């Protein structure tokens, strides 16, 4: 079904699952009529709608203007004073939540640590004082490079308390990638840990920080949390032990009233060109967005145990492991390690052990569980589960049905939540007590979110046709800019259709107004839920002295969603060997991180190019998939290239 956007949609799915009446009866939003009334209210007067949501949080001082919109620049709740750490912690201390578990942490070896709201508050206050005495001031950037230890949310909440924007760098990134990010935001402090435990092994994070800091002169302090106890080289004058500083610090520290638009954090994400973009979120709007969406979508109850399996290094961990649930006073389960360690049923054991009620994970994980076999989850009762969530990429209907049946026992609604690092919070998702779900569809936009599917000119496409997923009005948790590069921000998100937010995803709407997100339309790949730019992997490859040229494309992969296929032209005289393939894979892992390691590498004397010299990626994608190369090749400069590429079998 082609449309003027040139995007075709082939997936058609007719099954529909209404929420169970018992679930709806107890839900925050109980019917489609209620959902639609909320949408109408938000549509007619968006500012009044968001203002009423914002009032549920604590403000030190009310805002004077709900929205100032000088497209593409938004200011929400301007004049208001707020602190996200206060809303996550202090606000609960005058209630019975004071002694409720805020975080239940389980290590990979199986140790369990529980922090009540009161205890978490004390630790966060203490660490805020540590940051202050380490010379970190309001407005200074702090890089956090840690594993999934309880110190990580404590560090984030302390930064938020002080108004020192954090940038959490996923522990799988290399020293080079870490240094790039630190340099881009000129961080003055790094928080790390000696090592992180994964699959029984230690990943030595502090050593990677040491390597990165060789090229980061802005960093004056590194604070090191002791997790594994492995011996460390502490650099005098720069490095401090977390536990030593904490033992000296007071557990009292008032939360600072910050401007609603005070920068909260930066999170780097891949784009089509150039270096990673520092997505900037600010305090007030992000707080409102994550608070409200957590409440609506996960329908949290006071007694729930909520488990989001995402790593805090990604936006899902920021919004739905830390900030959204804690603002809602939830009990959050946090797991340190790998999903199949020591056995393939680790997650299901944990669900029964901690009596998890709400479980939020990614399609790539669901597909891995499917492949491991039903017998593992079937061994466990999992009676506590009442709601399942999915995020990160389109979930294929087969995986959706398996999730519903084998994990949810056909009893739990599934919320397939579409959003992005840039949107800060969930944008399109079922409300579990109201929305009838269809396997593979994120269903409809949340109240206040003006999402649509349009053609190149910005006109809505008819139901069933593919087009570009856009958001037509500003929303509180939207990114404010790309750090240090407002022009790139405008270009990337607001130039295709002026004034309208361009997501970079293709989608279609069906005749019920349900959205079916088809994935990226640009050169950004989604590998196991990690957003990677083909361009970054290409730059890493050509930086290798033996490589002349490289093109990277995605090919479908049953488990990872997409796999990375690299086509490489070597410098003259360099022999194409399997050892070199391994060397290049290791090289990319070192330059970016293990998740960017190419799955396939093919050497080629030349790459298929148009006469104007552009690499014809569409052809490469067809070669990588093993599909017949068809379609228009009339602009191809050298027809032999394709047959040579195809003749070469990937080992
Ligand atoms: C991209 C954003 C959202 C947090 C994790 C990823 C894809 C995400 C879905 C979904 C279809 C999805 C999109 C989006 N995506 N969720 N439910 N259905 N696609 O954040 O790294 O910023 O990636 O992930 O392509 O643009 P991110």
CA-nearest residue, atom 7 of ligand 1: 393
Mean pLDDT for 144-160 is 98
Whole-number percent of the chain with pLDDT over 70? 95
420 ligand 1 Cβ < 6 A: yes
Counting ligand 1 atoms within 8 A of each CB, the residue from 531, 532, 536, 554 with the most, and so the one to mutate, is 531
Minimum mean pLDDT range among 63-72, 357-366, 533-542? 533-542
What residues pair up with 281 in beta bridges, in sequence order?
265
390 CA to centre of ligand 1 in angstroms: 10
Q: How far is the CA of 106 from the centre of ligand 1 (A)?
A: 27
Distance, in Å, from the CA atom of 417 to the CA atom of 392, rounded to the nearest integer, reads: 8
Neighbours of 59 (CB within 10 A): 19
Smallest CA-to-CA distance from 85 within 341, 304, 258, 270 is with: 258
Q: For the CA atoms of the chain, what is the radius of gyration?
A: 24
Would you say the CB of residue 281 lies under 6 angstroms from ligand 1? no
Query: Mean pLDDT across the stretch 239-261?
Result: 98
pLDDT at residue 632 tops 70: no
Report whether residue 441 contacts ligand 1, using a CB cutoff of 6 Å: no
194 within ligand 1 shell (Cβ under 6 A): no
Helices (H), 501-616: 534-542, 578-591
Task: For residue 318, report the distance from its CA to the centre of ligand 1, in Å.
Answer: 14
Q: Please state which of the four CATH numbers 3.40.250.10, 3.40.50.12780, 3.20.20.80, 2.40.10.120 is assigned to the domain occupying 21-83+270-517.
A: 3.40.50.12780
Whether 633 has a pLDDT exceeding 80, the answer reads no
What does the domain layout of the chain look like in residue ranges? 21-83+270-517, 85-256, 544-650
pLDDT the model gives residue 637: 61
- Separation CA 479–CA 37 (nearest Å): 27
CB of 416 shorter than 6 A to ligand 1? yes
Nearest to 108 by CA among 195, 191, 169, 196: 196
Calpha distance 124→116 (Å, rounded): 12
Q: Is 393 in the pocket of ligand 1 (CB under 6 A)?
A: yes
CA of 419 to the centre of ligand 1 (A): 5
How close is the Cα of 23 to the center of ligand 1, in Å? 27
pLDDT score for 628: 66
pLDDT digits (tens, 9 = 90+) for 544-553: 999 998 999 9
> Which residue's alpha carbon is at the smallest distance from atom 5 of ligand 1?
392
Q: One fold for both 21-83+270-517 and 85-256?
A: yes
Q: Give the pLDDT score at 1.
A: 41
Mean per-residue pLDDT for 362-386? 96
Q: Residue 418 — pLDDT band, cuts 50, 70, 90? A: very high
Q: Is the CB of 123 under 6 A from ligand 1?
A: no
pLDDT tens per residue, range 159-208: 999 999 999 999 999 999 999 999 999 999 999 999 999 999 999 999 99
Q: How far is the CA of 396 from the centre of ligand 1 (A)?
A: 14
pLDDT category at 457 given cuts 50, 70, 90 is: very high
Residue 502 has a pLDDT of: 97
In the reported structure, the alpha carbon of residue 342 is separated from the centroid of ligand 1 by a whole-number distance in angstroms of 29
Give Cβ neighbours of residue 368 (< 8 Å, ≥ 6 apart).
339, 340, 559
Alpha-carbon gap, residue 73 to 282, rounded angstroms: 12
Q: Look at the chain and count its residues.
A: 651
Closest to 520 (Cα-Cα) out of 468, 558, 474: 468
pLDDT, one tens digit per residue, over 8-42 is 665 667 899 999 999 999 999 999 999 999 999 99
Residues 6 or more apart from 221 whose CB is under 8 A from it? Answer: 134, 135, 136, 188, 189, 190, 238, 239, 240
Contact 167 CB / ligand 1 (< 6 Å)? no
Return the best residue to mutate from 418, 493, 533 for the ligand 1 pocket (most ligand atoms within 8 A of CB): 418
* CATH 3.30.300.30 corresponds to the domain 544-650: yes
pLDDT value at residue 525: 87
Atom 8 (ligand 1) nearest CA: 392
Q: Which residues contact 279 (CB under 8 A, 6 or more apart)?
A: 266, 267, 268, 269, 421, 422, 479, 482, 483
* Integer Cα distance of 419 and 432 in angstroms: 17
- The pLDDT value recorded for residue 647 is 64
- Which tokens go with 397? 């209907």
C-alpha of residue 160 to centroid of ligand 1, in Å: 25
- The yes-or-no verdict on residue 613 having pLDDT over 90 is no
Please work out whether the CB of residue 526 comes within 6 Å of at least one atom of ligand 1: yes
- Residue pair 398/367 in contact (Cβ under 8 Å)? The answer is no
* Tokens describing residue 298: 């996960």
Q: Is 70 exceeded by the pLDDT of residue 568? A: yes
Centre of ligand 1 from the C-alpha of residue 157, in Å = 25
Beta carbon of 452 within 6 Å of any ligand 1 atom: no
Q: Express as a percent the part of the chain with pLDDT over 90.
A: 85
Residue nearest atom 10 in ligand 1 by C-alpha distance: 418
* Residue 314 CB neighbours (<10 A): 21
User: What fold is seen in the domain 85-256?
Assistant: Rossmann fold (3.40.50)
The region, left, alpha or beta by phi > 0 then psi within -120 to 50, assigned to residue 237 is left
**Which tens digit of pLDDT belongs to each residue from 76-112?**
999 999 999 999 999 999 999 999 999 999 999 999 9
Q: Where are the alpha helices (DSSP H) in 272-373?
A: 283-298, 315-317, 324-327, 346-354, 363-372
Characterize 465-503 residue by residue with b for buried, 16 or more Cβ atoms within 10 angstroms of its Cβ, and e for exposed: bbbbbbbebbbbbbbbbbbebeebbbebbbebbeebbbb
Q: Is the CB of 394 under 6 A from ligand 1?
A: yes
CA 91, CA 70: separation in Å to the nearest integer?
33
Q: Whose CA is nearest to atom 16 of ligand 1?
A: 392
Say yes or no: CB of residue 418 within 6 Å of ligand 1.
yes
Ligand 1 in reach of 286 Cβ (< 6 A): no
Give the other-Cβ count within 10 Å of 379's Cβ. 12
Q: Whose CA is nearest to atom 19 of ligand 1?
A: 393
Encoded tokens for 57: 């949080």
Rounded to the nearest angstrom, the gap between the alpha carbon of residue 578 and the centroid of all alpha carbons in its chain is 34
**pLDDT given at position 2:** 42
Q: What is the mean pLDDT of residues 111-125?
A: 98
Work out the average pLDDT over 362-390.
96
State how far the Cα of 584 lies from the Cα of 597, in Å rounded to an integer. Answer: 9
User: Could you tell me which residue, 337 or 640, shows the higher pLDDT?
Assistant: 337
Which residue, judged by its Cα, is nearest atom 18 of ligand 1?
A: 394
């Amino acid at each position: 079904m082609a449309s003027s956007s040139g995007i075709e949609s082939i997936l058609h799915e007719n099954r529909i699952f209404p929420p169970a009446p018992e679930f709806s009866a107890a839900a925050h939003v109980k019917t489609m009529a209620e959902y639609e009334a909320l949408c109408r209210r938000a549509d007619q007067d968006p500012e009044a709608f968001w203002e009423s949501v914002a009032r549920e949080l604590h403000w030190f001082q009310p805002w004077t203007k709900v929205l100032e919109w000088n497209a593409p620049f938004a200011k929400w709740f301007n004049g208001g004073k707020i602190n996200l750490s206060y809303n996550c912690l202090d606000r609960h201390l005058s209630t019975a939540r004071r002694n409720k578990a805020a975080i239940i942490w389980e290590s990979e070896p199986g140790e369990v640590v529980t922090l009540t709201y009161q205890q978490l508050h004390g630790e966060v206050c203490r660490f805020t004082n540590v940051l202050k005495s380490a010379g970190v001031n309001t407005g200074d950037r702090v890089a956090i490079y840690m594993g999934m230890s309880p110190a990580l949310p404590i560090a984030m909440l302390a930064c938020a308390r002080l108004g020192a924007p954090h940038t959490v760098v996923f522990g799988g990134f290399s020293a080079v990638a870490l240094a790039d990010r630190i340099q881009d935001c000129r961080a003055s402090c790094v928080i790390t840990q000696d090592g992180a435990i994964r699959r029984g092994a230690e990943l030595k994070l502090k050593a990677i920080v040491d390597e990165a800091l060789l090229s980061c002169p802005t960093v004056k302090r590194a604070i090191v949390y002791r997790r594994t106890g492995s011996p460390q080289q502490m650099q005098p004058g720069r490095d401090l032990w977390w536990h030593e500083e904490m033992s000296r610090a007071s557990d009292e520290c008032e939360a600072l009233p910050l401007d609603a638009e005070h920068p909260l954090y930066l999170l780097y994400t891949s784009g089509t060109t150039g270096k990673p973009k520092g997505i900037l979120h600010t305090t007030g709007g992000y707080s409102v967005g994550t608070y409200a969406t957590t409440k609506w979508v996960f329908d949290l109850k006071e007694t729930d145990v909520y488990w989001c399996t995402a790593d805090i290094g990604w936006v899902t961990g920021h919004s739905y492991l830390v900030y959204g649930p804690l603002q809602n006073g939830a009990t959050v389960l946090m797991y340190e390690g790998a999903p199949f360690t020591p056995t393939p049923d680790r997650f299901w054991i944990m669900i029964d052990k901690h009596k998890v009620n709400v479980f939020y994970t990614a399609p790539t994980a669901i597909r891995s569980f499917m492949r491991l076999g039903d017998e593992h989850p079937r061994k466990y009762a999992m009676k506590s589960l009442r709601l399942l969530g999915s995020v990160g990429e389109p979930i294929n209907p087969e995986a959706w049905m398996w999730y519903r049946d084998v994990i949810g026992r056909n009893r739990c609604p599934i919320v397939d939540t579409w959003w992005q690092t840039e949107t800060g919070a969930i944008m399109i998702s079922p409300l579990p007590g109201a929305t009838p779900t269809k396997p593979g569809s994120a269903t409809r936009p949340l109240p206040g979110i003006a999402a649509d599917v349009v053609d190149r000119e910005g006109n809505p496409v008819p139901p069933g046709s593919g087009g570009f997923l856009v958001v037509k009005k500003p929303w509180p948790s939207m990114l404010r800019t790309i750090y240090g590069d407002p022009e790139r921000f405008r270009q990337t998100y607001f130039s295709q259709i002026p004034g309208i937010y361009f997501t970079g995803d293709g989608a279609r709407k069906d005749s019920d107004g349900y959205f079916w997100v088809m994935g990226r339309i640009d050169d950004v790949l989604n590998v196991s839920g990690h957003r990677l730019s083909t361009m970054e992997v290409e730059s890493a490859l050509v930086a290798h002295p033996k490589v002349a040229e490289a093109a990277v494309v995605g090919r479908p992969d049953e488990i990872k969603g997409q796999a990375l296929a690299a086509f490489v032209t070597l410098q003259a005289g360099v022999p194409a060997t399997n050892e070199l393939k391994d060397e290049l894979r290791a090289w990319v892992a070192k330059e970016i991180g293990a998740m960017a390691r190419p799955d396939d590498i093919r050497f080629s004397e030349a790459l298929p190019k148009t006469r104007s010299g552009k690499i014809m990626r569409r052809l490469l994608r067809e070669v990588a998939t093993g599909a017949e190369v068809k379609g228009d090749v009339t602009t191809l400069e050298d027809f032999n290239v394709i047959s040579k590429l195809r003749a070469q079998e990937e080992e």
